[in-house]
Every structure is written in C-alpha cells, then in structure tokens.
Amino acid sequence: MSLKVPILKLYDCLIVSIQWELDDQMAMMFQEDLLSKLYETEAKGIVLDLTFVDFMDSYIAKVIGDAINMATLMGAKVVMTGLQPSVAITLVELGIHLNSVSTALNLEKGLEQLQKELGV
Amino acid sequence: MQKKSSVEIVTEWDIVAARQLGRNKAKEIGFGTVDQARITTAISELARNIYLYARFGNIHIEWIEEGDKKGIKIIAKDKGPGIEDVRKVLEDGYSTSGGLGAGLPGVKRLMDSMEIQSEINKGTTITITKWLR
C-alpha cells in the first residue's frame, strides 16, 4: 500500500521531492531507495525538496536526518530545501535542530548551492 | 460537526490515522497552518509513545469551549507500563528509547498545557490542550 518517493537523476545530481505525508514504512523505504540510487548512479549531490511536506514529527525528522548523514558518508553533498515555516517552527519547538544539514530556501537556490559546493 | 472522536492505536498505521484526524479537527476549529502543524505533530508524538511503550491505547480528540475561548483537547491513554518518574520525562534530553522520539518536553512546548497521570503497571494518561488565539 506504500507509495514510493520518486528519485530523479539530473546531470550528476539526484532530485528528490517528497510530495505526500510519509508513514513510518515509507520513510524507511525512502532511506534505502535513496542510498541505493546514489550508489547505482554515482551522483555527486542530492537535493532533497520538502516543499510539499506540511508536517514532520521526530520520527520522520530522524529518518530524513539519518538519510542525509548516510548519503554524506557515502560521499555525496546533500542540500535540503523548501521547508515550510510551520514545519521549521514545529521542528525547533520539538527540540530537533538538524544542525549539520545544509539547507536552502527553495529547489532553485538548493541546486545553485549544490553546484557551487560541487565546484561545477 | 462531531465534537469528540477517537482512534485506537494498535499498529503504526494508526499513528497516521490519529494525526490526520487531529489535523482535520484543528482545521475545523479554525487553527492556522502553524498551529495545525503543532497539533498534528504533538498527536503523532503521543501516538508513537503509545505504540512504542504501551503497544496499544487510544487517542481521543475533542473540541472544547470555555467562555468565548475555543480550543482542542487531546487525551492519550494507555494501559502500559507507566512512567516511573514523571518529573524526569519532562527534562529535555531524557529518553529510555535510545533517542527515538523528541520526548514529552517537546510536545509540551508545542501545546498550551500538558498534564500527565501515570501509575506503574497500570498505565498513563496524557492530556494536552491548545486554545485558539
């Protein structure tokens, strides 16, 4: 019954846009899918766009934060983009800071930032 | 509109059902997007606590009124192991699950008030409320 999060390759980047509310299994599956896609495609960077995410609890934040750390361990640069104000507010109030994660206001700025970080 | 509704928490899918019900209720009552996200997140955390620690329980969501104030009240109830030291679980950074879940201090910050009643081996009832501003 779970929907997969689409992961698209654009030049040497992966573009991921989470478009619906993730349940626990979807979140775990997303983690594995992202890492295997990264391995297969040898992409250098990932833009993880959360424009359409209107809520994030500590579990989903942990899975996403872990996925970013894992991808970084594998050698990719990751930029998280498009966090809505309500999501940023609730995450910080909840006590989740995701300090080590590189972020940008939107997908466009995230791609620019990634290109810079990759030295393209 | 129904003033009260509740969701049994048995599987992890029920966590999703509880928070969706909470979001819909919050929207009906007239909460804005930020408060809707706060309420949805708080419910998700409480439902997950039930699922992780007590295995099952229920989340009860209610529209409340006091004078001309309107708000939402959520009661998370389980017959699980109970909380040994309620004061301790309200300290930031305290966890018995090894880092899963932001814990109750986070939930408290998202809401206007939180009340915990717990008895060892009998269960826990957590009541949270938020008022419309």
Model confidence at B109: pLDDT above 90: yes
Name the pLDDT band for B1 (thresholds 50, 70, 90).
Answer: low
Give, in order, the Cα–Cα distances in Å from A69 to each of A56, A62, A72, A115.
18, 10, 5, 19
pLDDT confidence of residue A3: 75
Q: What is the pLDDT of residues B49-104, one digit of tens each?
A: 999 999 999 999 999 999 999 999 999 999 999 998 888 888 876 665 545 556 89
Option in A59, A87, A96 nearest B37 (CB): A87
Q: What is the mean pLDDT of chain B?
A: 91
Task: Tell me which CATH homologous superfamily contains domain A7-118.
Answer: STAS domain (3.30.750.24)
Model confidence at A87: pLDDT above 90: yes
Name the pLDDT band for B21 (thresholds 50, 70, 90).
Answer: very high
pLDDT confidence of residue B114: 96
Count of domains forming chain B: 1
Interface check A2 vs B, CB under 8 A: no
Cβ-defined contact of B44 to A59 (cutoff 8 Å): yes
pLDDT confidence of residue B95: 61
Name the pLDDT band for A20 (thresholds 50, 70, 90).
Answer: confident
Distance in angstroms (rounded) separating the CA atoms of residues B58 and B21: 13
Cβ-defined contact of B34 to A55 (cutoff 8 Å): no
Name the pLDDT band for A23 (thresholds 50, 70, 90).
Answer: confident
List the domain range (segments joined by +) for residue B42: 4-131
Residues 6+ apart with CB under 8 A from A92: none
A-chain CB neighbours of B109 within 8 Å are 93-95
Interface check A89 vs B, CB under 8 A: yes
Per-domain boundaries in chain A: 7-118
Q: Model pTM?
A: 0.91
Cβ-defined contact of A94 to B109 (cutoff 8 Å): yes
Q: What is the pLDDT of residues A42-81, one digit of tens each?
A: 999 999 999 999 999 999 999 999 999 999 999 999 999 9
Q: What is the DSSP letter of A2?
A: P
Which CATH number covers residue B86? 3.30.565.10
Q: Is residue B31 within 8 Å of B64, Cβ to Cβ?
A: no
B-chain CB neighbours of A95 within 8 Å are 92, 102-103, 105-106, 109
A and B: number of Cβ contacts within 8 A: 74
Mutate which: A26, A58, A69, vs B, most B CBs within 10 A: A58
Share of chain A above pLDDT 90, in %: 82
Environment class of residue B98 by beta-carbon count within 10 Å: exposed (0-12), middle (13-18) or buried (19+)?
exposed
Find the residue in B nearest to A23 (Cα). B16
